[in-house]
Chain A
Amino acid sequence: MFRAPRLITTAAAGASVVLLSTACGGSGGQNADGGWSPERPIELIAPAETGGGWDTLARTTSRVLEEEEMVDQNLQVENKPGGGGAIGWAHVANTPDDPHKLFVTSPPIILVPLSGNSDHTHEDFTPIAALATEYMAYVVPEDSPLESFEDLVEQVEEDPESISIAGGSGPGSMDHVALAGAVKAAGGDPKELNYVPHDGGGEALTSMVGGHVDAAVTGISEAAGMVESDDARMLATSAPEPTDAAPDTPTLQEEGIDFDFDIWRGVMGPGEMTEGQVAYYERLFADMVEQDSWKEETGNLGWEQSYMDSEEFGTFLDEAHAESGEILDEVGLGTEQG
């Protein structure tokens, strides 16, 4: 009668030792393989309001990670809108050594600092992984006389006032750079472009279909519906090679214009992350993009898979920064500060 309780006590004591040691391991940030693992819930910051592209990316990411039970810690999406992203970036930059704060990102992290509207640039953060991408489409109304992107550039050269081109974002932003870069590569003068900024690709397309502007530049998936209904035609896409989203449309490269532009989407972390921390997240996201649920959801959104690890992503960002800086200088919008 005495023995049983004693056994239980011993077992309990043993268990608590094990528990204690795991707890210690946890606070030291070491997991079984000797690598780092998160000690607190992870904040995934979308530097924009609910409903936008960044928010969709953050929520899709967190949903896949949680549903597939790929993270031990909670992963919370936090919206930090303002300043075209600058507020959210500043929030992450304030705690450069906290590896539990990540943010979702896309070309504005390059473009907003280039136009001088952010205290932080992509170099203040650690690239973790690029996840997906989408390409731009150069679109005209169905009855437009323009048949190719070359035609468009020619008309801009001949009479720049006769052609206005709508985009879904402000001057110096993604749509504008994708247009100006392509025109420049085709031998035109991007300064001559009459670029008309709208609030979102949808508004730009409506404006075009209504005959108020002559062409538009937007993401392929945004334009797909109007192309299908024969209201609009795609002249070209900015993809490096033909894409599933618009298989019949030539790429700029195929038209002999050496330019491609993608709306890449990825995840970055604060500036002072250790190698172990980067490695942990890198592996996590590499596994995530292999999940069927990720492929299905991003497929619905019209995004294509384009995983890059931390190092590739970093090199890519530096190149994108240099190229976009050149284009912005060309159209007279660059206010490069270093």
Chain B
Amino acid sequence: MDTLSQLGYGFGIALAPENLVFVFIGVLAGTIIGILPGLGPMSAIALMIPIAYGMDPTTAIIMLAGVYYGAIFGGSTSSILLNAPGVAGTVATSFDGYPMARKGQAGKALAIAAIASFIGGTVGVVLLMLIAPQLARLAVSFGPAEYFALMILGLTAVVSLAGNNLTKGLISAVAGVIIALVGIDSQTAVLRFTFDLPELYEGVEFLIVALGVFALAEVFTMLVRRSAGGAGGAVTSLRLSRRELGQMGPAAGRGSVLGFFTGVLPGAGATVASFLGYSAEKRLAKDQDTFGKGNIKGVAAPEAANNGAAVGSFVPLLTLGVPGSGTTAILLGALLVLGVQPGPMMLTERPEVFWGVVASMYVGNIVLLVLNLPLIPLFAKVLKTPKALLIPLVVVFCVVGVYGLSFSVFDLWLLLGFGVLGYLMRQNGFPAAPLILGLILGGLMEQSMRRALQISNGDWSIFLTKPISAALLALAVLSLAGPLIGMVRRHRSAASSKVTGGDNGGGGVEKQRR
């Protein structure tokens, strides 16, 4: 059978009335759960498993997959409207989505998110269908050394996330990496920075930091500012002009492909994908300075990337039987209980499950779009809530989200702590995005570096002798060199126009040291 006829077979399954109903239920439930912070795709799927239990396995996985991409989309809604990312994969969406909402373009931002998600999902599904078996090879070709190089490349995004002050951006990123070190070290089982608190043994939950430094810090800022009125006046229509569509299209396209391939790699996932998508788009853009202030492309790229990655993460699950992320791990568990063993044999043994899922993803993405576009004006009304109501609402949102993760009061104190930290950082011009970037990539980077060195018995050349790793590292160096040289040049010309004052000052410090 060739791909097309197999896909036709898949559509026959996906369009069965029963499956259609469940993909709809899945997407709807996922979107709603995803909007609530703390309840990401993982908890959304876990919550739906009792319902899936007892269903036909194909119908069940179709519904659970719907929950998955619904939840990722739902997360972007709270990211854009409240600066409170409900799902880790949508943190990058808030960088430009929230500024857009504050400018009164919430409807537009949500529409872009919906369309970009649709593009990301659809591109992902097409790629999944065409090259899934070959992609299994790509997934296994990434070992610890390759992951390390990929994380390094990801970390160079600091340059584009740091804003005006690279030094402060770097300080912020390093703080993020340090937070990632907290907990039991996975390579030696040694406790690090836990201060004898068992609550810290498993490290600091990413969402606590994100909600603290973004949402709570925003609340504190609003309180201090004491300005009257809603967040940004009227909510403009969600109609996009042709120019805007032209702007977001390519951005979403690039984000989709990048996101899909990142998602295929086990362990990388939607969060890393969305950050890579955002920073790649910013680097390519000619209007770089408007990023972070409400650039359409800054919403489209990470949204397309995280949905592309969600689809991509099905590749290792369906072709290798290996879950690529926490979410697909739960899906794997659900499938096993239903009596389906995903893995290399699935395509031949249970083709109806594989092709049913692929086809249902097409259907699900359309449902997602159809469901959400009409709801956008409703969601956007949140911003018209008077401040006196909105602020407590955001606080409740954060508290419920964090408490729901672990049912631990300790985490609420952590949330408050990170809120204060985020506020102080803002007051002193330290950007929060690099902190989040450092936190996400730092942990993965350290782990894969040490794993690689464990394999090579401490030989550092492993990072350069492996072709993929070497290529990624070279790319990282290049992407750093460009902006740095530019910065140095600008600095020089500024300095020389001030008659080498800076050099003398530097010399003075040297002398004092001696």
Residues of chain A at the chain B interface (Cβ within 8 Å): 49-51, 55-56, 59-60, 63, 78-84, 86-87, 90, 115, 117-119, 161, 164, 170-173, 194, 196-200, 202-203, 205-207, 209-213, 221, 224-226, 228-229, 231, 297, 300-302, 333
Contact = CB atoms under 8 A, between A and B. Distances in A.
A82 B414 CA distance: 15
Contacts of A78: 407
B63 to A, nearest CB: 17
A291 to B, nearest CB: 15
B238 to A, nearest CB: 35
Given A51-B330, A297-B337, A199 B406 contact: no
Interface residues on B, range: 35 or more
Interface stretch (B68-76, B90-98, B113-121, B451-459): B451-459
B316 interface: yes
B201 A228 contact: no
A138 B51 CA distance: 36
A212 B463 CA distance: 12
26 contacts: A50-B43, A59-B50, A60-B337, A82-B199, A82-B202, A82-B406, A86-B201, A87-B199, A115-B189, A170-B189, A173-B189, A194-B454, A199-B267, A200-B329, A202-B316, A202-B332, A205-B322, A206-B320, A210-B141, A210-B142, A211-B143, A221-B336, A225-B345, A226-B320, A228-B344, A300-B336
Nearest to A228: B345
B202 A300 contact: no
- The CB with the most chain B CB atoms within 10 A, among A78, A84, A198, A225, is that of A225
Interface string B160-199: 0000000000000000000000001011110100000011
Contacts of B267: 199, 203
Contact of B454 (A87, A164, A301, A333): A164
A170 B186 contact: yes
Contacts of A297: 337
Given A225-B343, A225-B344, A228-B343, A194 B199 contact: no
Interface string B404-426: 00111000000000000000000
Nearest to A111: B189
Interface in B434-485: 447, 451, 454-455, 457
Contact of A300 (B188, B338, B447): B338
A171 B326 CA distance: 21
B408 A82 contact: yes
A3 to B, nearest CB: 53
A286 to B, nearest CB: 23
A16 to B, nearest CB: 38
B320 A213 contact: no
A225 B339 CA distance: 13
A206 B338 contact: no
A80 B199 CA distance: 11
Given A199-B267, A200-B329, A225-B341, A117 B189 contact: yes
Contacts of A300: 336-339
Contact of A171 (B187, B199, B201, B447): B187
Interface in B292-346: 316, 320-323, 326, 329-330, 332-333, 336-339, 341-345
B46 interface: yes
Contact of B455 (A80, A196, A229): A196
Nearest to A231: B344
Contact of B189 (A119, A203, A209, A333): A333
Contacts of B457: 161, 194
A301 to B, nearest CB: 5
